[in-house]
Amino acid sequence: MPVLANTFSKCRPMSTDTALPLAYELHEPSGSKTTQPAGPPILFLHGLFGSKKNNRSISKALARDLSRPVYALDLRNHGESPHHKQHDYLSMAEDVARFLSQHNVKEPTVIGHSMGAKTAMTLALKSPDLVRDIISVDNAPVDAILSTDFAKYVRGMKQIDNAGVTRQADADAILKDYEPSLPIRQFLLGNLHRPDRNSPQQKFRVPLDILGRSLTNMGDFPCKDPNAVRFEKPALFIRGTESKYVADDVLPLIGQFFPKFRLVDVKAGHWLISENPEAFREAVLEFLRNPY
């Protein structure tokens, strides 16, 4: 259950001077080489332990349905993007702001799930001129106690790293002691790769020590005072009905930070994009086709 923090401190100003370049995949609308896109680009930001490849199918679907290009990003310390010891929402929002500048992306829609949702919210609140609208997927602008599952995942993944596994089946057998759900294990094991082409040994691509130390940061939200920062443009909050990340008692605070927000409930847990992709797609299409 989210725990509201005091609302008096302000978050530090954003700067792109120390931001990292982010890896990405660009999904173009069908026939975009001969026709103009129907709207500005969409940025898709994944959650903790995710990557751009997790959102590949839904990104292609949105590009097709909306005739808008979709950039699926790897946030810092994930996928093919650089690693850095600083892992918090202001730093990740700064990375995204740098990406927008480097790729000349003007006023995009920013969609984020979980960690990506708080990154999108931070960017919108700190630099509203950079963003057209946002879609937050199963997270809220509050300080919360992060689920203990994530700490367990880090321990299990470290055990796999130390075991010198050469097959994903062996890694999965270890991870079963930490997570009973096969889809979640498959999601986490998607981070395995072979760093040495001459060795069959598999390791995790994500820096487990950095992310393990940053779990508290992932529960926090850097902007505390809705009287100091507010996003006056459209915002959609999609929450899973079987998830506790966006409880009813945080809705008033969402409204203070995002006064033009809408709420859509999807029958799913926290991983709602993969659990109920069609309901998620329909909610996104309805919002982006009729944002006001």
Q: What is the mean pLDDT of residues 59-80?
A: 97
78 noted as active-site residue: no
**Which of 59, 243, 270, 274 is the catalytic position?**
270
Half-sphere exposure of 255 (CA within 13 A, CB side): 6
Q: Would you say domain 24-144+220-289 falls under CATH 3.40.50.1820?
A: yes
**Which is more confident, 44 or 146?**
44
Mean pLDDT is lowest, of 5-19, 142-156, 233-247, 265-279, for: 5-19
pLDDT band of 11, cuts 50, 70, 90:
low
pLDDT tens sequence across 90-116: 999 999 999 999 999 999 999 999 999
pLDDT at 2: 38
pTM of the model: 0.91
Going from N- to C-terminal start, the domains of the chain cover 24-144+220-289, 148-213
Whether 256 contacts 36, CB under 8 Å: no
pLDDT band of 71, cuts 50, 70, 90:
very high
114 noted as active-site residue: yes
pLDDT tens sequence across 199-228: 899 999 999 999 999 999 999 999 999 999
Indicate if the pLDDT at residue 235 is higher than 50: yes
Query: Within a 10 A sphere around the Cβ of 12, how many other Cβ atoms?
Result: 9
Measured CA to CA, the distance from residue 260 to residue 271 in angstroms comes to 25
**Which of 114, 136, 243, 274 is the catalytic position?**
114
Contacts of 276 (CB under 8 A, 6+ apart): 266, 267, 268
Report the chain's mean pLDDT, rounded to a whole number. 91
Indicate if the pLDDT at residue 239 is higher than 60: yes
Whether 41 contacts 71, CB under 8 Å: yes
Indicate if the pLDDT at residue 12 is higher than 70: no
Indicate if the pLDDT at residue 51 is higher than 80: yes
pLDDT band of 23, cuts 50, 70, 90:
very high
Tokens 């937050």 sit at which residue? 136
Work out the percent of the chain whose per-residue pLDDT is above 70.
92
pLDDT at 197: 83
pLDDT tens sequence across 148-173: 889 999 999 999 999 999 999 999 99
Q: What is the mean pLDDT of residues 236-263?
A: 96
φ and ψ of 47, to 5 deg? -95, -175
Q: What is the mean pLDDT of residues 72-85?
A: 97
